[in-house]
Chain A
Amino acid sequence: MHFTKGKISMNQTTLDIRLYAEDEEDILSFQFDDGEGMVYLNSDSCQGQMKDVFSRLIKLSLENDVLLNLIIADDYGRGLYKDVSKEYVRELQKELDSVKDKIRREFI
């Protein structure tokens, strides 16, 4: 599988989010430039991993309009996780759009 992260414009960037399974683990992987942000969806530490992703997401959104792009691996077959992840990323995008200006006002 090959995932890419492409810039749409100077101020807009697309952050790919991979949904895939590995060793029976369902994983959402945020493809940041400086390394993946892995969230193991069935793990107890999933919340802490998501918090780390939030941190990196906010840093990214300071300089860019971030477009979240969910990519589901071709061989991934768990419908429930697919549906939830679609909804989750949609909600995350909505919230990111609503808070980005607040963050930028504080820093720029």
Chain B
Amino acid sequence: MKIDLHCHTKAIKKGDGKGRNVTPELFKEKIQDADIKIVAITNHNAFDIEQYRILSETVNGICLVWPGVEIDVLEPESKRWHLIVVVNPKESDKFSDSVKKLFKNCNFEDSMHTLDEIYEAFKDHDAIYIAHFHQKNPAVPEGDGEKLDRLIGEPFRVFKETANENTMGVFANYRYNVLVGSDVKDWTKYEQCSFSELKLPVDSFEQFCLLAKRDENVVQTLLNRKDSKKLIAHPASNVSLDIQLYADMNIIFGQKGTGKTEIIKTLCESMKSCGLKCVSYIATEREDSFKTLLGLKGVAIDLEKMHADDCEEVFQTITEWVDSNPEHYGNYLKWKKTEGNNANKTRMKITHASALTREATENEDLHKEDKKSIDVIYRDFDGINLEEYLNEDDSRQLRELIGRLKTSIYDHRRNDLIDEQAVHLVNFSINKIKAIADRSTNSVSKPSSTGLTSFVESRLALLKAVKKILKNLSVDEVNETEKIGSLDEKGDILINTKYRMLCEESKTDEFKMGIRKLKEVKLKLEYIDGHAFESDLSDSMSQLNELIDELGIKDIKPFVGCSKQIVNETGDLYTPSNGEKGMLLLQRAIMEDADAYFLDEPELGMGNSYIDTSIRPMLINLSKRHKYVTVATHNANIAVRTLPYMSIYRTHCNGEYFTYTGNPFSDKLVNIDDEKDVLNWAEESLKSLEGSRDAFYERKDIYESNNT
């Protein structure tokens, strides 16, 4: 939840500027736009109780409003600085009196107070104190800060305000109670100001103070508002750890060689067994993972997308095809020799008949295809509840029309079949009668055909089948792209999955069964297409069918080559470096819609700036969406600045391994095997992630200068 504990609502001093004056309407609008849940009114040297009440009422139910004041502090022989005092809203009236008393007979423009005077004024209040700090000017001098701590006596009531939220993030949780406020100068741009974010949402001033005090019960109560799961992790095969993960950020950190990767992997498996969808990223396995990403395992070939027919029927035609031979000339000789042997047979003109030949009826092929189509249409159509979309009349009319279309197509197809079958039946009858007559008369009838017709028909059927396959083998390639992630200055990076029929440019690894024999099959088909009426066609067909049989080809799918390439936004091939592969895989994992995310050393091979500006915000967004995000890391930006609900610290000493769990809110890490063994979360984080406390202090100025 966003809070603003340094907010001006009135221009008091000359330097304040009119932009600090705010109407109740604008106040409400801007508080809502910025999604602020707690705001403290901290005008310079004054507290307007009437305005406080009006503004509180205006945003009632939207945002808590706490009373406060910003005071100029000047200690003897020191520099001027600013201190904000915010009190429990239940004490607003009393606070108003205290402020009036402190500033009695004072000039708002240049009044200064010592820390003793301020402490005296508010010592009986439930208050917190916020000193301008570091590059937030005018900042508290070190000695004055120490005096403030001594006077207040309760460290959790003293905060430091930094110049911006990035700096705040660095100081936060290293025993600095740090925040940033809007210090708004122009209310029309209020939502553009910097704000603090409370990881654990609080409901009251008291709860805020207890959280600052790291009160164990309050921290646990606030943590428990999020879903959690108790899972089992195995850092080694013979070791089991009970780990509670929250539907938020969970961090595993600690020394190298303590089984963090195994913990991540086994937690992922444990989560999966709970039925949750999990994704994982293991940095050390990124090369293999990238290869897998570009692999073809699980890629399904969808011929519809390619507008291609599977050609199953025509492949069957090819494998079952047998050549038709001419009638033997000798059978004509036998007929002629025995022609006059039997007078009765001579009178049977049918024994002289030739086979009927049949011309295909007009559009016969079309009728055949349309019959197939209407069967599919009718089946799908039957599954649609028309009344859901059409009125009764339209539904009835549509049903009637589709029904009539089906009937008409069926009629045409039936007539074609009758015609075709009639010719078959006639020829069958002629041959049967001839055979019976020949048997009874010891003679041979005239052959029904020279064999030319069936020779042509059988080859035409084969040719049609081959042409259909070749036509489908020439359909255009289809490309499907899927974004993996983005790279700075290179834009979106995508996987292009290319589906194309076997062609000149095809490569071996596009095909499950290799390319050489498929090419042979295609060459044979092309040869047959150009030599359908050659007398030696049978030889070519035998070779073709041997190949088809060997490759187990039943349809055209084996000829569809599939490959994946990495391309940029403009479609040009792109070869990512190892580091970029990691970035892309990590982004892909994070962008995937899942319930839980398990990441191992996401920082490996990536710049700290990239981790902090790209990956950390994405992880925080996931945690805000109540996803389980578990990261094993050595990176302070991830481990600390994501404010994990659960920190799992692994360490080893003299061959013995220890596991501690805790969080930054309680600032504790407790040994899961010995609850008396308690470490300080901040100290261990500093040691493990930053190197040491000194290293952290050396870096703080760098953080500050980089982000101002």
B7 at interface, CB cutoff 8 A: no
Task: Tell me the residues in window 43-64 of chain A with beta carbons closer than 8 Å to chain B beta carbons.
Answer: 46-48, 50-52, 54-55, 57-59
**A48 CA / B323 CA spacing, docked (Å):** 12
Which residues of B are found within 8 Å of A57, using beta-carbon distances?
Answer: 452
Q: Which of B328, B329, B359, B534 has the most CB of A within 10 A?
A: B329
User: Is the CB–CB distance between A103 and B535 below 8 Å?
Assistant: no
Task: Tell me the residues in window 17-32 of chain B with beta carbons closer than 8 Å to chain A beta carbons.
Answer: none
Shortest A29–chain B CB gap in Å is 13
**A95 CA / B450 CA spacing, docked (Å):** 8
Given contacts A47-B326, A106-B463, contact A92 B535 (CB under 8 A): no
User: Is the CB–CB distance between B354 and A87 below 8 Å?
Assistant: no
Given contacts A51-B326, A51-B535, A55-B533, contact A87 B460 (CB under 8 A): no
Shortest A40–chain B CB gap in Å is 9
B453 at interface, CB cutoff 8 A: yes
A99 at interface, CB cutoff 8 A: yes
User: Is the CB–CB distance between B460 and A101 below 8 Å?
Assistant: no
Which residues of A are found within 8 Å of B464, using beta-carbon distances?
Answer: 106
**A80 CA / B334 CA spacing, docked (Å):** 10
User: Is the CB–CB distance between B329 and A55 below 8 Å?
Assistant: no
Shortest A54–chain B CB gap in Å is 5
User: Is the CB–CB distance between B325 and A96 below 8 Å?
Assistant: no
Given contacts A55-B534, A55-B535, A99-B457, contact A87 B452 (CB under 8 A): no
Instruction: Return the CB mask of B306-334 against A: 1 if under 8 Å, else 0.
Output: 00000000000000000001101110110
Given contacts A80-B336, A83-B336, contact A46 B328 (CB under 8 A): yes
Which residues of B are found within 8 Å of A80, using beta-carbon distances?
Answer: 333, 336-337
**A51 CA / B450 CA spacing, docked (Å):** 10
Which residues of A are found within 8 Å of B449, using beta-carbon distances?
Answer: 91, 95
Which residues of B are found within 8 Å of A102, using beta-carbon distances?
Answer: 359-360, 456-457, 460
User: Is the CB–CB distance between A94 and B336 below 8 Å?
Assistant: no
Which residues of B are found within 8 Å of A67, using beta-carbon distances?
Answer: none
User: Is the CB–CB distance between A84 and B359 below 8 Å?
Assistant: no
User: Is the CB–CB distance between B329 and A39 below 8 Å?
Assistant: yes
Shortest A1–chain B CB gap in Å is 22
A98 at interface, CB cutoff 8 A: yes
Which residues of A are found within 8 Å of B534, using beta-carbon distances?
Answer: 55
A81 at interface, CB cutoff 8 A: yes
Given contacts A50-B329, A51-B455, contact A98 B357 (CB under 8 A): yes
Task: Tell me the residues in window 11-45 of chain A with beta carbons closer than 8 Å to chain B beta carbons.
Answer: 28, 39, 41
**A99 CA / B359 CA spacing, docked (Å):** 8
B446 at interface, CB cutoff 8 A: yes
Instruction: Return the CB mask of A58-85 against B: 1 if under 8 Å, else 0.
Output: 1100000000000000000000110110
User: Is the CB–CB distance between A92 and B452 below 8 Å?
Assistant: yes
**A47 CA / B449 CA spacing, docked (Å):** 14
Given contacts A46-B330, A51-B535, A102-B360, contact A95 B452 (CB under 8 A): yes
**A48 CA / B654 CA spacing, docked (Å):** 92
Which residues of A are found within 8 Å of B330, using beta-carbon distances?
Answer: 41, 46
Given contacts A81-B333, A95-B453, A99-B452, contact A59 B533 (CB under 8 A): yes
User: Is the CB–CB distance between A46 and B329 below 8 Å?
Assistant: yes
User: Is the CB–CB distance between A98 and B453 below 8 Å?
Assistant: yes
**A96 CA / B455 CA spacing, docked (Å):** 11
**A83 CA / B446 CA spacing, docked (Å):** 12
Given contacts A55-B533, A99-B452, A103-B456, contact A87 B446 (CB under 8 A): yes
Shortest B641–chain A CB gap in Å is 74
B452 to chain A: closest residue by CB: A95
User: Is the CB–CB distance between A50 and B456 below 8 Å?
Assistant: no
Shortest B638–chain A CB gap in Å is 70
Which residues of B are found within 8 Å of A51, using beta-carbon distances?
Answer: 325-326, 455, 535
Shortest A52–chain B CB gap in Å is 4
Which residues of A are found within 8 Å of B329, using beta-carbon distances?
Answer: 28, 39, 41, 46-47, 50, 84, 88
Q: Which of A52, A83, A95 has the most CB of B within 10 A?
A: A95
**A88 CA / B452 CA spacing, docked (Å):** 11
Shortest B139–chain A CB gap in Å is 93
Shortest B365–chain A CB gap in Å is 11
User: Is the CB–CB distance between A84 and B326 below 8 Å?
Assistant: no
User: Is the CB–CB distance between B453 and A84 below 8 Å?
Assistant: no
Which residues of B are found within 8 Å of A103, using beta-carbon distances?
Answer: 456, 460, 533
Shortest B323–chain A CB gap in Å is 8
**A102 CA / B459 CA spacing, docked (Å):** 11
**A57 CA / B535 CA spacing, docked (Å):** 11
Which residues of B are found within 8 Å of A47, using beta-carbon distances?
Answer: 325-326, 328-329
Shortest B333–chain A CB gap in Å is 5
Shortest A105–chain B CB gap in Å is 9
**A68 CA / B330 CA spacing, docked (Å):** 20
**A47 CA / B328 CA spacing, docked (Å):** 6
Shortest A26–chain B CB gap in Å is 9
**A91 CA / B447 CA spacing, docked (Å):** 10
User: Is the CB–CB distance between A99 and B446 below 8 Å?
Assistant: no
A83 to chain B: closest residue by CB: B336
Shortest A22–chain B CB gap in Å is 16
B538 to chain A: closest residue by CB: A51
Task: Tell me the residues in window 442-493 of chain B with beta carbons closer than 8 Å to chain A beta carbons.
Answer: 446-447, 449-453, 455-457, 460, 463-464
A79 to chain B: closest residue by CB: B336
Which residues of A are found within 8 Å of B456, using beta-carbon distances?
Answer: 58, 99, 102-103
B453 to chain A: closest residue by CB: A95
Shortest B528–chain A CB gap in Å is 13
Which residues of A are found within 8 Å of B337, using beta-carbon distances?
Answer: 80
Q: Which of A41, A50, A80, A96 has the most CB of B within 10 A?
A: A50
Shortest A27–chain B CB gap in Å is 11
**A84 CA / B332 CA spacing, docked (Å):** 6
Which residues of A are found within 8 Å of B336, using beta-carbon distances?
Answer: 80, 83-84, 87
7 contacts between A and B (CB under 8 A): A41-B333, A48-B535, A51-B326, A87-B332, A96-B452, A102-B360, A102-B460
Closest 3 CB pairs of A and B: A50-B326, A52-B535, A98-B357
